[in-house]
Amino acid sequence: MAMPEHTAFDTSHPAVAVCYFAGVLAITMCSAHPVVAAVSLVGALAFSALSRGARATLSGLVWQVPMLVLVCLANPLFSASGSTLLWRWGPLAVYAESLAYGACMGAVLVATIVWFEDMARVVTQERAMSLLGGVAPTVTLMISMVSRLVPQLMRRAAVVRTAADATCVADGDGRPSRSRTRLTSVLLTWSLEDSLVRADSMRARGWGASSRRTSYRRHDFRTSDGMALAGIVVLAGVSAFLVWVACSQWRFYPTMPTLVAWWGYIPFAAFVALPSVLALVERASWRFA
C-alpha cells in the first residue's frame, strides 16, 4: 500500500486542521445551493486526490456517484413539486425542480462524506488525542480504543472463521446460523478476556489516579498556528455570510431562478481550495529547493 501524501496540515497544530474542517463541513451541510454544493464537492475531491491519492479517491467514487444518482432519482418520489413537468407515469409526476433539488442534496451528501475522509487523513488518532486528551480524556480514550479494537475484532473474526473451516469437527451440521452463532460466541469470549487484561493494565499504569491526565506534547501552538487559525476563522466567517446570502436568494420550488456569475462565490471557493493550494505549494517548494 502506498504511503499517503504529505499535506500542509501535517506541520501545523491539530487545532488548525480541526477548525478548518469544522468550518467547511458546517457550511457544506447547511447549504442547499447548487453552486455551493458543486464547489464544495470539487474542493473535497481535489484535496482527497492530493492527500489520499487518486486511486483511493476513485475507489470511493465507485459507490459515491451511484449514491448521488440514487438521491437525485428518489427525490421526485417524495417531493413531486415544481413547475417544469418532464414526464408523467400514472400518478407519478417528475419535475425538473425535484430532480435538481435531489442532485443538489446528493452532491452535498457526497461532499460531506469526502470531507470527512479528508479529515480522517489529516486529523489522525494521535493528533486527536493530543488535542482532546486533556479536555475530554474519557471520550478521547473511547474513540481511540474503538478505532483500534474494531479492526482487531475483524482480524480475529477472520482467524476464527479460517480455523473453523479447517476443522471438520467444528463444522457441525453445516448450517450457516450455527456457524455465525459459534463465531459470535468465540469473539465475545475472546473480547471479555481481553477486557479484563486491558483494565488491569490501565489500572497498573495509573489511569484514573488523578482528574487530569498528563501527556507528552508533540504539537506546540506557535505564533504561525495562531495566525493560520485566525485567517481560517475570518475566511470561514466571510464565506458563511456570503453563502447564506446566496442561499436566501435561491429557491428550487416552484421555479428556479437563473444562475448568474457572482463574486460572492469566490471566498468560499478560495476556502475549499485552500488545503489543495497549500499542498501543491509545499510540494513545489520541496521539489525545486
**pTM for this one?**
0.75
Q: Which residue, chain included where needed, has cell 400514472?
A: 90
Same domain, 114 and 37: yes
Do 185 and 279 belong together in one domain? no
Q: Of 187, 204, 221, which closes a domain?
A: 204
Q: Is residue 235 one of the residues assigned to a domain?
A: no
Residue 215 has pLDDT above 70, yes or no: no
Exposed e or buried b per residue across 103-138, where buried means at least 16 C-beta atoms within 10 angstroms of its C-beta: bbbbbbbbbbebbebbbebbbeeebbbbbbbeeebe
Residues 273, 180 within the same domain:
no
Closest CA to 255 of 72, 70, 101, 91: 101
Last residue of a domain, one of 176, 204, 232: 204
- 274 shares a domain with 193: no
Give me the chain's average pLDDT, please: 83
Q: pLDDT band for position 29 (50/70/90)?
A: very high
Query: Does a structural domain hold residue 246?
Result: no
CA nearest to 47, candidates 279, 265, 228: 279
pLDDT attached to residue 2: 44
The values of phi and psi at residue 86, to 5°, are -90, -50
In a domain? residue 215: no
**What ranges make up the beta strands (E) of 81-239?**
85-89, 92-95
Percent of the residues in the chain that have a pLDDT greater than 70, as a whole number? 85
Domain boundary (173, 189, 204) is at 204
186 within some domain:
yes
First to last CA, the chain: 28
Instruction: Evaluate whether residue 253 is within a structural domain.
Output: no
The whole domain housing 146 covers 136-204
Is residue 155 a part of any domain in this protein? yes
CB neighbour list of residue 165: distance below 8 Å, 6 or more residues apart: 171
Task: Assess whether pLDDT exceeds 60 at residue 170.
Answer: no
Alpha-carbon separation of residue 43 from 31, 227, 273 (angstroms): 15, 23, 5
186-214 pLDDT tens trace: 888 888 888 888 888 877 877 766 666 65
Contact 164, 170 (CB under 8 A): yes
Q: pLDDT tier at 181 (50, 70, 90 boundaries)?
A: confident
Mean pLDDT of 165-184: 69
